[in-house]
C-alpha cells in the first residue's frame, strides 16, 4: 500500500529534449541516478515521435532549439489527444515574464532556468506528476 507522497517519488519515464548533447546527457544521467527512466531526444520533431511511442509520464523540454522550438513542440504535444495530458516542463536560459507567459499559453506546467539543478528538476517533476494524477 503506497501513500500519495510515495507515489510522487516513484520512478517515472521522463522524455528529455535538448539539442545540446552535453545538457541532454547530464539531465538524463541525473534522472537515471534518481531512479527514473530517461528517454533522450535531440529535437522537437524527435520528441513528438517519442512522446507517441514511449508514453512518458513527463517531458523536460528545452525552449531554444532549431526548427521546432520548445514552445511549438509543447503546443503540438498539447494539441494531440494521446499526449495532451503529459506534463511539460520547459527549460531555458531566460525565464523572464515573456517566457513564463508564452509557456503558460502553450500549456507548459512550469519553466525552469538553465543550468537546471537536479534537486529543482526533481521537485518540478514531482509537482507536475502530482498535478496530473
Helix 44-54 / helix 70-79 crossing angle, nearest 10 deg: 30
Task: Kindly state the percentage of the chain with pLDDT values over 70.
Answer: 91
Statement: residue 95 has pLDDT above 90: no
Domain count, the chain: 1
Phi, psi of 15 (to 5 degrees): -85, 120
Q: Does residue 2 lie within any of the structural domains?
A: no
* Gyration radius (Cα) of the chain, Å: 14
114, burial (CB in 10 Å: exposed 0-12, middle 13-18, buried 19+): middle
pTM, full prediction: 0.90
Statement: residue 4 has pLDDT above 90: no
Statement: residue 5 has pLDDT above 60: no
Q: What is the CATH number of the domain that holds 91?
A: 3.40.50.2300
Q: How do residues 6-48 score in pLDDT, each as one tens digit?
A: 334 578 999 999 999 999 999 999 999 999 999 999 999 999 9
Q: Does residue 1 lie within any of the structural domains?
A: no
pLDDT of the residue at 96: 85
Q: Does residue 122 lie within any of the structural domains?
A: yes
Amino acid at each position: 500500500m503506497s501513500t500519495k507522497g510515495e507515489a510522487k517519488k516513484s520512478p517515472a519515464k521522463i522524455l528529455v529534449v535538448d539539442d545540446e548533447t552535453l545538457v541532454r546527457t547530464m539531465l538524463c544521467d541525473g534522472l537515471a541516478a534518481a531512479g527514473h527512466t530517461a528517454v533522450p531526444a535531440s529535437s522537437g520533431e524527435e520528441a513528438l515521435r517519442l512522446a507517441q511511442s514511449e508514453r512518458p509520464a513527463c517531458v523536460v523540454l528545452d525552449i531554444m532549439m532549431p526548427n521546432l522550438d520548445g514552445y511549438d513542440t509543447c503546443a503540438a504535444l498539447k494539441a494531440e489527444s494521446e499526449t495532451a495530458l503529459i506534463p511539460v516542463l520547459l527549460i531555458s536560459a531566460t525565464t523572464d515574464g515573456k517566457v513564463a507567459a508564452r509557456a503558460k499559453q502553450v500549456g507548459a506546467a512550469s519553466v525552469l532556468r538553465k543550468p537546471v539543478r537536479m534537486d529543482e528538476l526533481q521537485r518540478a517533476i514531482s509537482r507536475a506528476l502530482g498535478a496530473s494524477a
